[in-house]
C-alpha cells in the first residue's frame, strides 16, 4: 500500500474529520507519511522506514516486519500528555484495516467529489477498522497528584484489554502494551480474517522493540534555530527567498502538511488573520512540510483553494529541510521571524484560533521594541 495513496484518501474526507482522537483516515495518513505528525525521524529510521520516535513523549519503537508490509496497521491518533504534569504522558491506540480494502477505498475516494460521497467513504472506513492494541506511557510520580481525569481514563482504557504488559521503564516513566487474545472480526472476509491473524502474531516481536527516554521539550529543540533562510519556489511556482522578511515588521511562518487535519482546519482562521494584520506590515507565509513532492504539491494546491487560503505558501528547499524542518516535533508548527530573518519568541506547536495567533503576534512585536 503506497503511503501517498493514504494521503490522497485523507484529503478527500478531511472536511468531515475531527481533531479528537477518533478513528480517521487523517490519523492513519499522519503516522504513515514519510514526514510524520507528532514524531521525528532519526538517521537509522530511514534504513527501513520502521522506526517511530516521539521526542515529546519520550517513546520510540520499531514496527515489526509483518506490519510494515501492510497498509492498515496504524495509530488511530496520538494523544499526548505533558511530561511532569500529567499521569498519562502518551496514549497511542492502534487499529487494523485490511490492506486490499484500503487500496480499493483509496480508488473510490479519488472519485468522491460531493460531501455525501466523502461521508460514505469515511463511514465505510470506520465500519471496517478494528481495534488492535494500545500503547500507554505513564508517569508514576503523578499517579496520586496528577489530573483526576487521567486516573479515570487509564482505568477505563485498561478495562478494554485482557493483557496489560509493562514493556519498558525509564526513571518515573512506565510503558504498557494493552492487547487481547480475541478480537472483533465482524464484517471481515475469510481472507481479511487471515490477514488480521497474521498481523496479531507480530505482537510478541513488537513488545521487544519499545523503549523509553527522557522526553524532549519541543521549544528547546527549536531554540537552536535563530535565523531562517531559504531560496525556493512558492506552491504556484514563483521564485521566492528569505529576503522577503526584510519588508515586514514580523512574519508568522506556519508549517503544515497535506496529511494534517488540524493544519487544514485552521487555514480559514490564518487567512482571516492575514487579512487583518497585513495593513500593519505583518506577513503570514506557509511552508508545506511534506514537499517537495509532485503529488503532495498538487494536493496542497487543492487544499489551499478549498480552504480559501491566499497567503503565500512555499516548497521547502534543502536549507529548510536540513534545518528547522528536521527538528520540528509535529505539524502545525508556527514560528515568528523579524526583519533580519531571526526567530522571535518560542515556537508554537499545534493549531490555534485567529485571536490566539494575533495575541502571539502582538506579544512578539512588543518584545522587538
Q: What is the 3-state secondary structure (H, E, C) of the chain?
A: CCHHHHHHHHHHHHHHCCCCCCCCHHHHHHHHCCCCCCCECCCCHHHHCCEEEEHHHCEEEECCHHHHCCCCEEECCCEECCCCCCCEEEEEEEEECCHHHHHHHHHHHHCCCCHHHHHHHHHHHHHHCEEEEEEEEEEHHHCCCCCHHHHHHHHHHHHCCCEEEEEEEECCEEEEEEECCCCCCCCCCHHHHHHHHHHHCCHHHHHCCEEECCCCCHHHHHCCCCECCCEEEECCCCEEEHHHHHHCCEEEEEEECCCCHHHHHCHHHHHHHHHHHHHHCEEEEEEECCCCCHHHHHHHHHHHHHHCCCCEEEECCHHHHHCHHHHCCCCCEEEEECCCCEECCCCEECCCCHHHHHHHHHHHHHHHC
pTM exceeds 0.75, yes or no = no
Q: What is the pLDDT of residue 98?
A: 93
Read off the pLDDT of residues 147-197 as tens digits, 9 standing for 90 and up.
Answer: 999 999 999 999 999 999 999 999 999 999 999 999 999 999 999 999 999
Q: Judge whether 316 and 325 are in contact, CB under 8 Å.
A: yes
Read off the pLDDT of residues 92-121 as tens digits, 9 standing for 90 and up.
Answer: 999 999 999 988 887 887 777 676 777 788
Q: What is the pLDDT of residue 121?
A: 81
Distance from CA of residue 220 to its chain's centroid? Answer: 19
Q: What is the pLDDT of residue 76?
A: 79
Q: From CA 201, how far away is CA 254, in angstroms rounded?
A: 41
Look at 37-46, 214-223, 296-305 and tell me which has the smallest mean pLDDT. 37-46
Tell me the mean pLDDT in the region 45-68: 75
Q: Which set of grid coordinates corresponds to residue 76?
A: 488511530
- Confidence band of 327 (pLDDT split at 50, 70, 90): confident
Return the axis-axis angle of helices 115-128 and 3-13, rounded to nearest 10°. Answer: 130
Tell me the mean pLDDT in the region 56-80: 84
Higher-confidence residue of 46 and 334: namely: 334
- Confidence band of 329 (pLDDT split at 50, 70, 90): confident
Q: What is the pLDDT of residue 220?
A: 66
- Confidence band of 53 (pLDDT split at 50, 70, 90): confident
Q: From CA 125, how far away is CA 25, in angstroms rounded?
A: 8
Asked whether the bond before 292 is cis by omega within 30 degrees of 0, the reply is: yes
Read off the pLDDT of residues 14-50 as tens digits, 9 standing for 90 and up.
Answer: 333 323 343 333 333 333 333 332 332 333 332 344 7
Please enumerate, as own/partner, the contacts of 103-107 that have beta carbons within 8 Å and a separation of 24 or more.
103/1, 103/5, 103/71, 105/9, 106/5, 106/6, 106/8, 106/9
Higher-confidence residue of 75 and 363: namely: 363
Higher-confidence residue of 242 and 112: namely: 242
Count CA within 13 A, CB hemisphere, residue 129.
Answer: 25
Taking 50 as the threshold, does the pLDDT of residue 5 lie above it? no
Look at 1-15, 278-292, 352-366 and tell me which has the smallest mean pLDDT. 1-15
Q: Judge whether 56 and 84 are in contact, CB under 8 Å.
A: no
Amino acid at each position: 500500500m503506497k503511503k501517498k495513496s493514504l494521503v490522497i484518501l485523507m484529503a478527500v474526507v478531511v472536511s468531515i474529520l475531527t481533531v479528537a482522537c477518533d478513528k480517521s483516515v487523517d490519523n492513519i495518513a499522519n503516522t504513515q507519511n514519510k514526514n510524520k505528525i507528532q514524531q521525528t525521524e532519526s538517521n537509522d529510521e530511514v534504513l527501513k522506514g520502521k522506526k517511530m520516535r516521539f521526542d515529546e513523549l519520550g517513546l520510540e519503537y520499531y514496527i515489526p516486519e509483518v506490519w510494515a508490509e501492510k497498509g492498515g496497521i496504524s495509530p488511530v491518533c496520538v494523544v499526548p500528555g505533558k511530561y511532569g504534569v500529567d499521569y498519562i504522558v502518551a496514549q497511542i491506540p492502534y487499529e487494523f484495516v485490511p490492506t486490499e480494502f484500503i487500496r480499493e477505498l483509496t480508488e473510490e475516494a479519488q472519485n468522491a467529489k460531493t460531501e455525501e460521497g466523502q461521508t460514505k467513504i469515511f463511514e465505510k472506513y470506520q465500519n471496517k477498522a478494528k481495534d488492535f492494541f494500545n500503547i500507554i506511557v505513564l508517569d508514576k510520580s503523578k499517579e496520586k497528584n496528577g489530573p483526576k481525569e487521567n486516573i479515570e481514563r487509564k482505568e477505563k482504557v485498561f478495562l478494554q484489554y485482557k493483557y496489560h504488559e509493562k514493556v519498558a521503564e525509564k526513571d518515573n516513566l512506565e510503558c504498557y502494551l494493552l492487547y487481547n487474545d480475541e478480537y472483533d472480526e465482524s464484517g471481515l472476509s475469510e481472507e481479511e480474517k487471515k490477514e488480521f491473524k497474521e498481523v496479531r502474531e507480530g505482537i510478541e516481536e513488537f513488545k521487544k522493540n519499545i523503549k523509553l527516554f527522557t522526553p524532549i521539550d519541543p521549544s528547546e529543540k527549536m531554540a537552536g534555530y535563530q535565523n531562517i533562510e531559504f531560496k525556493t519556489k512558492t506552491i504556484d511556482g514563483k521564485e521566492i527567498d528569505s529576503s522577503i522578511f526584510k519588508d515586514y515588521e514580523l512574519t508568522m511562518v506556519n508549517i503544515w502538511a497535506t496529511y494534517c487535519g488540524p493544519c487544514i482546519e485552521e487555514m480559514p482562521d490564518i487567512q482571516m488573520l492575514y487579512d487583518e494584520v497585513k495593513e500593519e506590515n505583518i506577513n503570514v507565509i506557509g511552508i508545506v512540510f511534506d514537499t517537495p513532492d509532485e503529488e503532495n504539491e498538487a494536493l496542497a494546491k487543492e487544499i489551499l483553494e478549498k480552504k480559501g487560503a491566499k497567503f503565500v505558501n512555499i516548497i521547502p528547499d534543502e536549507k529548510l529541510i536540513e534545518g528547522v524542518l528536521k527538528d520540528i516535533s509535529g505539524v502545525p508548527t508556527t514560528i515568528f521571524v523579524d526583519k533580519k530573518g531571526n526567530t522571535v519568541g518560542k515556537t508554537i506547536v499545534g493549531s490555534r484560533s485567529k485571536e490566539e495567533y494575533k495575541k502571539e503576534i502582538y506579544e512578539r512585536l512588543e518584545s522587538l521594541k
